Amino acid sequence: MTKHNSPIRPVEEEVPRKRTRSQRRIREILAVCGALVAVVVPVVLVNTYGGQSSAAEEEPESQLSATNLFDLEPGLAIVEMTHQGEGDFVVDLLPAEQEENAARPERIEFFGDQNDVSGTGSTFALAKEAGSVDISRAVGIQTAGKHVFDVKASGPWTIQVDQPRPSGAPEPTRFSGDDATATPLFQLSSGPKEISVTNPGGEKLEISLLDGEGNEVDRVLEDETDGAETQPAASSSTVDIREAGIYLFDVRAESLWTVEISDAG
């Protein structure tokens, strides 16, 4: 997917302890085009652009919008996003009180540290893409309460939020993709694990291992290039899992990638 670094209006952002409550699954589905905003459960509302001139088609104009408020609980949240436009697609998740605050924290870039915290709450930069998009991200919500998405888009888009609370998950396997992805949940036993990563395109790639509550356990791979260099095509590292449980990878990527986790030999 081609990325564009055209100037955009900043939509500020940023990125809980184990809970033993009964399982609960929360799903908020949002769909928007332009200024139309809707929050519904469990229906997805879709609107489309129309009546654009040929000039507008050649240079799609992005529109800024904010969704209605919706509730999130502390813990893991999986955000799935799609975009059908040709221009920029930027999504930020922030607490409602922060949306209303004029003094906002410094923007966290898509490849930034999702655990940076400033201001009155945590803000997550979930997407900074261009063109058609079908991606997902995993984040750890720190405080319960009302939240909102700030979105910049040039065409129809949808956002779906899921807060899974499973009691079990499959054993770890090999995952792959070509863009930002929250992998399926998987079960890990305690002890040392080997994580193998491939990055055939050598593009920017960051991978974080999260626990079932959305807390970052380890930064598996972090982009340290200056834009002119490429990352290694393959790498491996070892992480010590202190507690058996459910985990997942949050991958921020611009090209093909694979990641595999297994018991260290």
Task: Quick: pLDDT tens for 160-198.
Answer: 999 999 888 998 789 999 999 999 999 999 999 999 999
Domains of the chain with bracketed CATH: 26-50+60-163 (2.60.120), 174-263 (2.60.120.380)
Least confident of 15-19, 183-187, 234-238: 15-19
pLDDT of residue 2: 40
| Of 29 and 193, the one with more pLDDT | 193
- As a whole number, the mean pLDDT across the chain is 74
- Tell me the three state secondary structure of residue 58: helix
Mean pLDDT value of segment 203-215: 94
Specify the pTM.
0.70
214 has a pLDDT exceeding 50: yes
| Of 44 and 176, the one with more pLDDT | 176
pLDDT of residue 230: 62
217 has a pLDDT exceeding 50: yes
| Cis check: omega of the bond before 42, within 30 degrees of 0 | yes
Tell me which range, 10-14, 97-101, 213-217, is most confidently predicted by mean pLDDT: 213-217
Mean pLDDT value of segment 134-155: 94
CB within 8 A of 16, min separation 6: which ones? 74, 75, 140, 141, 142, 143, 213, 214, 215
pLDDT of residue 231: 62
- Distance between CA atoms of 8 and 166, rounded to whole angstroms? 38
Q: Report phi then psi at 189, rounded to 5.
A: -85, 165
114 has a pLDDT exceeding 80: no
Q: Which two tokens stand for residue 111?
A: 């490849």
Q: DSSP E strands: which ranges in 84-167?
A: 88-95, 124-130, 133-141, 145-153, 157-163
